[in-house]
Structure 1
């Protein structure tokens, strides 16, 4: 019998559309640094910034990751 339990690891991001983008070489380091500072992979950072720029709701998987990075305040 096949074990149908979910694999360990991060939750899937759902249906997405693939796009290959080439950044200007002189911009790439700035984008990567901003993604690193945000604690996101570059692709997730680009998705976040595009959604914010176009007043779109952040994908659920990106909201979840953002919320997990915030530690609760001590009382």
Structure 2
């Protein structure tokens, strides 16, 4: 599965994108797997209320299923100006 990171998530994790082998059934499961990998992931995902997610380019939440998904993107909330 392709995982993309944007803005401060990219900075904390140190990657724009990566291919992840996962058995995660939901976005929450994927976040748990990633957070258990290394401290940098745990720090980036420590406050999921500050993180938005899209599965296959459709906005969703962390309870979303990953069955059949090919891409997950994590990013901070958008702000206007």
Q: Could you say which TM-score interval applies, normalised by the shorter chain?
A: under 0.3
TM-score, structure 2 as length reference: 0.27
- Larger RCO, structures 1/2 (Cα 8 Å, 6+ apart): 2
Q: Quick check: which one's helix share is greater? A: 1
Q: Quick check: which one's strand share is greater? A: 2
Tell which structure's C-alpha radius of gyration is larger.
1
